[in-house]
Structure formats: C-alpha cells, structure tokens
Structure 1
Amino acid sequence: MGNPARGEDELTQLHVAVLMGGWSAERPVSLVSGEGVAKACEALGHRVTRIDMDRDLPVRLVETKPDIVFNALHGTPGEDGSVQGMLDLMGIRYTHSGMVTSVIAIDKELTKQALVPHGIRMPAGRVVKSESLYSADPLSRPYVLKPVNEGSSVGVAIVTREGNYGDPIGRDVEGPWQHFDELLAEPFIKGRELTTAVIGSGDKARAFGVTELIPRNGFYDFDAKYTDGLTVHVCPADVPEEIRQACMDMAVAGHNILGCKGTSRADFRWDDEAGVDGLFLLEINTQPGMTPLSLVPEQAKLVGMSYEDLVQAIIDEALA
C-alpha cells in the first residue's frame, strides 16, 4: 500500500508517518518519542503525519499513503511483532526490527534461548507462575522478578531478605505478581547498570559506546528512566577498556543474532568485583526511546551524530 520506490534524487523528501502512543504501559513515553521524531523529520524537510495508534490504524495508513512508517511505539503491540506483521501484510516499509525479531526480543525467555547458545552471558533463571510465589521463593534471595514480555523496567521487583514483600511474598502486597500470571525469576546481580546502543544491521552494525546509569533511589525502574533528575547518566561510562569493549561486542552480537535493524539498546549488569566474567546482558530493546532523556540519542551525540542525523540514518536503513 506504500508508495513505490523513489529515485535517489527524491529520497531527500519523504512522507513519513510517525506511529506513536498506543495502549501499552509505555504510552506516555512513546508519545514523547514520537513527537521528537516528528519534529526531527520536519526539520529534515520531510512531510510528516503524526498517528496516535488505535485499532483503526490500517484505515489511517491507507488514507495517509506514507512512503515509510517511523515506528516510535514502545511495548505491545508496537514492539512485539503485531504492528510489524500488519505493516508487512500491507506492504508498507517501516523502521526498526521486523516481525520475527520483535517476537523474540520482547520475550526475555526467548531472547535467552536465542543468545545464550552463542556464548552471550545472561542471568540464569526460569519462568514461574505468580500464584506459586505466595507459598515459596523460586530462587534464593536476593532475586529479581520481571514480566516476561514488557520493557522499560515495567513491573520489576527486587526481592530481598530485608524487603517488605514478605517471606514468602504476601498475596496482598503490591507487586508484579498481582498484574501478570507469569514472571521471569532471575538471580540479582550486584554491581553497576550499563547500556549500549547499536545502529545498523549485519556487518554494518556498530555500537555507539557505553553509558553507566546511576539511579538516585538505587533502582533503575520506570520512573528512574523517564523522570528528569532521578538518574545520572555517565556517558561515556568510567569503566575499564575491556568492559567497554565487551559491552559493545556483546551488544552488536546480540543485535545481529536476533536480526535487529535500525537501532537497538542492550542493557547490562556488571559486578565490578568479578571483572569481565561479572558482565551479564539483561535484554535487548528493539524500540529504544527517542525522548530528550533517552540513551540512544545521548550516545549518538557522543560520536558526533545529531538527533536529526540519527532519525535520518534509521529511515535510510529502512529504505535500503
């Protein structure tokens, strides 16, 4: 349904539909990301249609007839393969990863199954029924509970012996067990929070650098990610060269093994008392944020790429 391929001389001006919003827990973040992308596209000379996603999206796209969709959605259904599959069926080009990659990457357990056999170090763990938590711990404390297929640290809990969740966890205590039937339980990795952004695909994929995230409340949760002043970004991170290189190598390897396109962001925990053996990949985000507080634009700036340049590079890869 999209417009046919254009000649090189016409590629400088496109009709870009920026897809944002939706109905996931990350809707507010997506709206900010989408508006930033839309303004950047306009600054680049493109014609922009902003689309706040609802269930009439296919009709909106048929009416809009964009050259390309810039997917600025976060969470489901914009990050889990649903929107990607619909756009594939409609024959509309779009940014970031495709359907199969998105299905795997949104699911933390599937991501492990894809990456660990290739030598990428990830925390051991298992999927548990939330109901089972009220009778016994699935792992020795401290451990982490997180939804299997949500991003942006939505619904993450760190269960410690000193915490106030109860032992075992209380049925009436607020936590992700009250909102999800199943959760991923992983050992808690002490240490530092690191992240690396990747752009491109295949042999053209490259990592921007490494950022350390220091949340003021001690936990890099949803509020810490998206509330100004709650997290200190140390960019570039003050880490040994072998750790910086290991983060970048693992991020690019994971990006390519999963088949990511556009940008992705790999999140790590590093036990700095264990050297490189203490570095663990937690997840790969295929739709990283593009807000003023987001990590990918911040790292791109570090290597001399402006926000507008980043947006254009993502578009160019989707058109290639």
Structure 2
Amino acid sequence: MKIGLTYDLRSAYLAEGYSELETAEFDRDDTVEAIEAAIRSWGHETDRVGKISSLVRRLAAGDRWDLVFNIAEGFRGIGREAQVPALLDAYGIPYTFSDPLVLALTLHKAMTKRVVRDLGIPTAPFALVRDEADVEAVALDFPLFAKPVAEGTGKGVTAASKIGDRGQLRVVCRDLLQTYRQPVLVEAFLPGREFTVGIAGTGPSARVLGVMEVVLLENADRDVYTYGNKEWCEDRVLYRLAGDPEALAAGETALNAWRGLECRDAGRVDVRSDAGGVPNFMEVNPLAGLHPEHSDLPILCKLAGITFRDLIGLILDSAMERAGAGPYFPGRVHFPDAVFGGPGGWSSEAGTP
C-alpha cells in the first residue's frame, strides 16, 4: 500500500521564526522517521507529505494515497486538528485517527467535558472564563485548576495552575487570556492519583492497552503534571503501570469516554481521582504524541510489552478495517491477550503482542 504521512514538523516552524512554545505540539524529525520506518517494516510504501499547505498542493497536482497516516496538529484556530482530516474526507482518502468532528470537539476541553458529563462519566465541576469579568462568576470551591481551553502538550499548565484563592484566580486567568488568546478552563482541583490510559481500536473493538500512573518526583513541579514536567519527564516523573482497583476503574472511565466520544484507532485519555478515589475524566488526546521514547502513549506501550512497531501496526490495522480493507499485512497485530478481556472488560496484567 502507498501511505502518505501528514505532520507538522517542529524544526520547520522554528526555522520560520516561531518560538519554542508556539511549536510545542509539533513533531520532532525523529518522530516522523520512526513512524515511517515502522510503516515500512510492515511492507508498505511511504510518501512524506507534511503540513496542510503541502497536502493542498499535492492534492491539486493529482497525488493520491491508499491511506494517510495523519499526525498533523494544525497551526491556527480551535478547529486546527480537524483541518487535514476534513480535506482528506473531501477527496475520499482514508486516514488514521479520528474524524473532523471528534478532533474539533476534543481540542475544546470544556465542550468535551459537557459531552462526557452528559454520558454520565465522572468529570470535575468546571467553569469557562472568556474574559476577566467572568472570574467573579466562578462559583466553585477552592482549590481550583486553570488551563487554556484548547491547547495540548501541557501548554499553559504550570505550578501556578493550582489556585488557592480568588485573587490568584484573577492573576492566572488574566495571564492565560493574554498569552493564549482563548478562554480558560477552570475546574475543581482533583487531589488524587493521576493516570493516563492508552487505548487502541474503534467503537466496540476499542481496548485498553494499559493504565499508566504519573508519579511526580521530588524535583518536579508539585501537584500538577505541568508542561515543564512533561518536557523534562526523564528527571521529574516516574511512569508505572497500575493494576489495582482504582487503576482498573480509571481504565473503565477512559474506555467509556473513548467510545462515547467516538474516537478512533488509538490515543490517550487522562484521568485523575477525586478525594474519594473516584477516577474523573480530565481530557482525551485522539492525536496522541508518538515519539518512541518521549511520548506518553509509546512509553505506556513499552511498559506493557508492546513494541513501537506493533503500536503503529495496531493503528494501521484499525484504520484499514474502518476503510473496509480488513486485515492487510502478514502477521497481523493482535491485542495482547493478557491485557484484554471481553468487549466490556480487561485485565491489568501486562502481556506481549
């Protein structure tokens, strides 16, 4: 098969003069190289397309692909992650990961929480601050947690994101509004354990790959999985698979959210427990980072005994089955039997593909 690769390369944007923070969500060169190598290892031809402007030119020139492996984050607007999939839909070209509706919805964290809440899935009470005047209307008990409503990779999340009083809330919201030019999501702070849940598959076939607990070390920003903690995770964070009852409940919460939001192929759901130990949905990442060594989903998979090559195989397999092609490569990847149970459940024990 001929598989195109769409992505936003961080080095290219930095060369154009954009800042480290502006390009934080974009992919490193070695991420694209690793994905391409994994796809080729399954016997496919690859074609690097790049960002949306390159895709537009290629489509206008008549280029087509059997499938596009899309990790393009987009650069402008709350609907930026949906732009490449929408264009591919218009041309009838299948692609990996979620559709434009899901990607536009899930980037807006408040809209996502409204849908998740309607699905009956626990999520922390929240308010949306669109301007400084809205701060006075926030009727939530302190401590609170604040972050930009439509950013990823921990952008805008710092040690100051945990807020103890109204005065601090005013300062933090003012800074976030000025810096990111978008509303601020303010939530009740969840004091319990933090998990990220890896999921592969679509609809009823979606399964949990593992539940990874995020444990902040002594030299990390306290209480919050900040942008800095993510960037320097090797020194600040301990990642470990968890299989106790609370972790199992986190996996169930994540899987219910994934299916309810109709996410596809693979991604991550972030979950944190409240004071009573009940896991609450925080956010979903249907375009999860795929750096083999630095991104949470591949880290989780490695802990669960799933190689990066097989993770890419699971994604391709799910996308092609959705496109009606069925199993398409020799030695089709299967979910690890020890990780998964039936359609409604799974086991926490790590297995190997």
Band of TM-score, shorter chain = 0.7 to 0.9
Distance in 1 of aligned mates of 2:52 and 2:249: 40
For 1:48, the equivalent position in structure 2 comes to 46
Q: Which region of structure 1 is more displaced relative to structure 2, 186-195 or 36-45?
A: 36-45
Question: Which segments of 5 or more consecutive residues in structure 1 lack a partner in the other structure?
Answer: 1-13
Q: Equivalent residue of 1:190, what SS?
A: coil
Secondary structure in structure 1 of the residue aligned to 2:234: coil
Tell me: CA distance 1:158–1:168, structure 2 relative to 1, closer, same or farther (3 Å). closer
Of 207, 215, 221, the residue aligned with 1:217 is 221
Change (3 A) 1:121 1:32: farther
Residues 134 and 309 of structure 1: is their aligned pair in 2 closer, same or farther, counting only changes over 3 Å?
A: closer
User: How far does residue 102 in structure 1 lie from its aligned partner after superposition?
Assistant: 1.4
Pairing of 1:1-320 with structure 2 (within 5 A): 14-21=1-8, 25-29=23-27, 31-61=29-59, 63=61, 64-74=63-73, 80-132=81-133, 139-156=140-157, 157-161=160-164, 167=168, 169-170=170-171, 174-215=175-216, 216-218=220-222, 219-237=224-242, 241-271=244-274, 274-275=276-277, 277=278, 279-291=279-291, 292-320=293-321
Deviates more, 1:42-51 or 1:208-217: 42-51
After superposition, the Cα gap between the structure-2 partners of 1:295 and 1:179, relative to the gap in structure 1 and judged at 3 Å, is closer
The structural deviation recorded for 1:97 is: 0.7
In the alignment, the residues of structure 1 paired with residue 253 and residue 135 of structure 2 have an alpha-carbon distance, to the nearest angstrom, of 36
Deviation, 1:268, is 1.2
Identity %: 27
Determine if contact 1:79/1:286 at 8 Å carries over to the other structure.
no
CA contact (8 A) 1:192 1:270 kept: yes
TM-aligned CA distance change 1:171 to 1:309, over 3 Å: closer
- Residue equivalent to 1:11: none
TM-score (norm 1): 0.82
> C-alpha separation between the residues in 2 aligned to 1:103 and 1:30?
23
Spell out, residue by residue over 1:262-283, the C-alpha distance to the aligned partner (whole angstroms, 9 max, x if none): 1121101124x523x3x21101
CA drift at 1:54:
4.4
The answer to which structure, 1 or 2, has the higher relative contact order (CA under 8 A, 6+ apart) is 1
C-alpha contact 2:5 2:69 (8 A) present in aligned 1: yes
Q: 1:295 to 1:170 in 2, by over 3 A?
A: closer
Question: Partner amino acid for 1:253?
Answer: N
Alignment-mate amino acid for residue 133 of structure 2: S
Shift of 1:174: 4.5
Q: In 1, distance between residues paired with 2:138 and 2:119? A: 30
Closer/same/farther in 2, CA of residues 196 and 231 from structure 1, 3 Å limit = farther
Change (3 A) 1:171 1:236: closer
Measured after TM superposition, the shift of residue 139 of structure 1 is 4.1
Number of residues paired by the alignment? 300
Where structure 2 has 5 or more consecutive residues not aligned to the other structure, the ranges are 14-21, 322-353
Root mean square deviation of aligned Cα:
2.8
Shift of 1:135: 6.7
Task: Give 1:86 shift.
Answer: 1.0
Separation (CA, whole Å) in 2 of partners of 1:251 and 1:172: 28
Distance 2:27 2:115 in 1: 28
Give the Cα–Cα distance (whole angstroms) in 2 for the partners of residues 295 and 168 of structure 1: 29
Amino acid in structure 2 at the alignment position of 1:153 = G
TM-score, reference length from structure 2: 0.75
1:67 is matched by which residue type in structure 2?
D
Q: Could you tell me which amino acid in structure 2 is paired with residue 189 of structure 1?
A: L
Counterpart CA distance in 2 for 1:79 and 1:246 is 32
